[in-house]
Amino acid sequence: MKNKLLNNQGFSLIEILIVLALTSVIIMLGFSMMIFGRSTINRSVDEYEFQHEIRSTMQQTSDVIRYATAVFTIPKSSFHKDNLDDGWHYIGVQEKEMSPGVKGSEIVKYTYEEGIGHTSTVLLDAIPNVNYKLQFNKRDEDSDSSLLEFTIKTYPMSDDDDYGLLEPIDEFITEVEALNSLQVIDLSSPPYDPSVAIAFKNTERSQNFVGHVAMVLDKSTSMTRDIYGERTNREDEKRINILKTEAKALIDAFSSEENIDISLVPFSGEANDPRAFQNVNTNSAALKSYIDAMVANGSTNTGDGLRRAYYMLDEHNDTVGYYVTPKNYVIVLVDGVTTAASVYDPDASDVDFIISDGNVAEGDLESSQVLWSQGWDLLDEGTEYVDLIGTQYLAKDDFAKVYVIGFSSKNGDLNSLRDIALACNAENRQYVAGDSDELQEVFNEIRSDIVNDLWYLKGPEL
């Protein structure tokens, strides 16, 4: 009995201590896992909320761009709160000292109000030691595109990441179209001075300017050929029909503007049938019917087309109201060299060009007032006539802004292009269109330039 009792001993002290130690470790591991899990959840929640705030900021910025009437991107060197121009609103990144030795940055919207100045609203709050980069890029500088791409990047605060040299923590990119804007201008100089802000306005479009556009369109015999200068029986390949299609598309593109009047001045050996100015917004159908009625035949008397355009513009300028300023534009399209000129007497030894308004006589009659070259060769007097009308009328005192288009894929057809441009002070506005797509692109660029010219807003001071 005694031996049996001796064999029923309890746990030793060492065993109990080991058990307690193991239990403590298990409990500590459990608490650590619970704390880690809670920390992970909190970080996930914080990251979600931060990303939500960034997306909200991007949406607000997108709305501003979409409905502004003018948008200018502002380079990093010029954007700070002490350099904001009166009359402009801004969105951009500014540095913020959160506590002694701790910096961050925030995305701020500055709203301008007359008599008060700029007041700021924080769109994205600062985070300690985190730097925001807000960059804007115009998507297509070579067209009238109003698309802006903008990016928000987050970086660790550093002296070395002024231009994004470090890897970003997060990056958010979006693209937005400035639907209501006639001007989207990029003032940055990447990569050394990128855009980090935008200046924008919601100004009503001014109706103080009206645009008078004379379309001087070549309808000579060569317009019945294809774009390479070859004969063709296919109507869709003939230059005249390509021109009609794209010219009508240009009318449609202009038709949303209420302050533009257009006159058609088709020409060949003469320009005896200029059409009266019509408001493109209310009379686009009539303008397009005039284009459809053009028939290709005769020589190329570009000077006569310019002469009639000048007098059409001069007369129409007198019809505008007292407080309205007309701006004159001439779009000249030729498909070959100048082969004719308008003169009082083609047989006279001294050429006397016709410079007054009105029709000229053309034909084989003795009363003809058109001097022709032999065949399709360049006529020197024709070039002189273009130079006279261009320099003494259209270019004088900046009477009209002229655009010159050479419509051919045959190099020899373009030999008069530079002469026309020089005469009309349009050296920087001469184009070559070798097919329908290129002509469409040229017309679109010219339309954009005219529309912007009629409602030009000077950007903010940098």
Superfamily of 209-454 according to CATH: von Willebrand factor, type A domain (3.40.50.410)
Tell me what pLDDT residue 28 has: 77
* Bond into 191 cis (ω within 30): yes
Match 């001294």 to its residue by tokens: 350
Strand (E) or helix (H) holding 56? helix 13-67
pLDDT, residue 5, reads 47
Is this structure's pTM higher than 0.75? no
Kindly report, residue by residue over 61-101, the tens digit of the pLDDT: 888 877 787 788 888 888 888 889 888 899 888 888 878 87
pLDDT by residue (tens digit) across 402-425? 999 999 999 999 999 999 999 999
The reported pLDDT for the residue numbered 167 is: 65
| Residue range 350-375, pLDDT digits in tens | 899 999 999 998 765 456 888 887 66
Q: pLDDT below 50 — which residues of the chain?
A: 1-2, 5-6, 38-45, 142-143, 159-164, 365
Helical axes 239-254 vs 284-292, angle rounded to 10°: 170
Token pair for 65: 């761009």
Burial class (CB in 10 A: 0-12, 13-18, 19+), 384: middle
Output the pLDDT for position 154. Answer: 76
User: Which ranges in the chain are annotated with CATH 3.40.50.410?
Assistant: 209-454
Q: What is the pLDDT of residue 182?
A: 56
Exposure on the CB side of residue 96, measured as CA atoms within 13 A: 18
What pLDDT sits at residue 140? Answer: 61
Q: What per-residue confidence (pLDDT) applies to 142?
A: 46
